[in-house]
A and B are shown apart, each in its own frame.
Chain A
């Protein structure tokens, strides 16, 4: 190839300042985490700095969301190189909304963690690790490049390893071994799929893959999609490959559990949505029977696990898995309404599951036990906590008028419209709601309603902060459930952009290059 024939590889136009909003949440989180690492001997100052940084990230996420709502997906490709040479960060409504939800629950967890950390332990690295985790999660939500997504997964994984073993109890080590191996295996499988797709398509930019994948061998692409489904399914803890979640989520302090429950599996679910529906839709159609089986299996088995479990936080872990089933149901249905439902469900699950684990931590503090059989009588001691737990259980099950109801309604409507196997999914979704209610209300009855086996510990002086943090999240769930119209409209807009990626591809600046021009 002579040098003159090379197409332009550099971006010549000036970058709008608004586009920086797609980079700033990630950079702020990583640089903030690094700053906290330097400040980690300073106790209270560290918490204050962490809260300020996460507050700034929330402001950036809101700005990003406003910009996307006004102008469509926002993209920035690093270092002036045109995609597919430069690494793109591309945010659409789903990515930005999930990043916002993740930052908000991180803020709540940072406040909540103060009740558990007691006297500030000097330099234990909790705050830097939380910010590193948030940076990884935000990066995964906002990236537009598959290899970059792999890097963010690993950033998340490293940070979650650190958080999981913080304190270093024997049970934590046990949980961390299982969590560590299975999640590392999942990211390695993702890397395998990446290598294959690079070999076939010669690109790893998501928007670029959307353009060239239809020209590749469909059988090979389906193989890659199946590998991605396995890898992200493990990350999301879908039914047959969920064993790591109930083995590890209940072992660390409740604040860490809450953060994991809100963020980690949701990133896997989002990656499934992005990879299968947005990037490789043709392969998704081929894999539809598998997705159906996974969705129905996850929807039915997870709440049954919660019913059979007596350890409070392990039982909630099964409810987290059940929520992933609802997202899978959205992926198994081919209509935009189902994708809107799946996206809205991820948004709901980030907030609800974090709040549930926070309340579980408060319950454990009051009753001094981890097993629901040893709890009881909390209603008399703390009726506010019981209301909070009850509301969150209803939200997780999807009872109107809470936020959890609306995504399930969208999914059920889409299932009825699809007919055929859609009816099966609808039945599984309804059964999931009923089983979740059974599991949750029974936990409620055991913890709050039954006579106390022993005296309930009095409220400790800092518990109020944790109660307020969980209460605010629950209030947000109730408010969003009562006024769901903006959320549903946003989810529909986002789903339309996922189904027809023209806006997404155009945002990266790729549409000008004709597919045949490369090689």
Chain B
């Protein structure tokens, strides 16, 4: 199981990097999401895939009966998913607004803040 998950993590991250290399903002956004999911899966795998029993203590007991799945990676991933999702939402809105006001989905043509042919600085005082 670990090996399959490890290969899957590699595929996710490769796909994410490939999409991030694109010039189109929307593809970069999808790349970021896939990359982030690959990382989440990596944390899940790094926490050891042991039991499929949910880490919930039954009523009336102080500790769970028998082995359970490791809850810490799940907590880490939950946090990372929430943060990653909010970032994704923000960037999506940002990309849309940038598309509306700059009329550009191609990062090569987004040169308003960094003019492409900026005049050279004066040579004398």
Contact = CB atoms under 8 A, between A and B. Distances in A.
Please say whether the chains A and B touch (CB closer than 8 A): yes
A174 interface: yes
Interface string A355-392: 00000000000000000110000000000000000000
A310 B83 CA distance: 38
A177 B35 contact: no
Interface in B54-104: 63, 72-73, 76, 79-80, 83-84, 86-87, 90-91, 94-95, 97-98, 101-102
Contacts of A161: 90, 94
Contact of B39 (A157, A158, A192, A372): A192
A170 B109 CA distance: 13
A149 interface: no
> What class of interface size applies to chain A in its complex with B?
35 or more
A16 interface: no
B9 to A, nearest CB: 9
B39 A175 contact: no
Nearest to A165: B94
Given A170-B112, A171-B112, A198 B125 contact: no
Interface in A308-358: 308-311, 314
A188 B94 contact: no
Contact of B91 (A180, A246, A373): A180
Label chain A's interface by main secondary structure. helix
Contacts, number: 123
Contacts of B86: 158
B43 interface: yes
Contact of B43 (A151, A173, A194): A194
A173 B95 CA distance: 8
B77 to A, nearest CB: 9
Given A180-B90, A308-B121, A198 B32 contact: no
Contact of A181 (B42, B91, B113, B122): B91
B121 A175 contact: no
Closest 9 CB pairs of A and B: A199-B46, A195-B43, A174-B113, A174-B112, A175-B113, A173-B98, A170-B101, A195-B42, A154-B83
Interface of B: 13, 20, 25, 28, 32, 35-36, 39, 42-43, 45-48, 63, 72-73, 76, 79-80, 83-84, 86-87, 90-91, 94-95, 97-98, 101-102, 107, 110-114, 118-122, 125
15 contacts: A158-B87, A171-B113, A178-B107, A180-B87, A188-B35, A191-B80, A194-B76, A195-B43, A198-B72, A199-B45, A199-B47, A310-B121, A442-B125, A446-B125, A449-B125
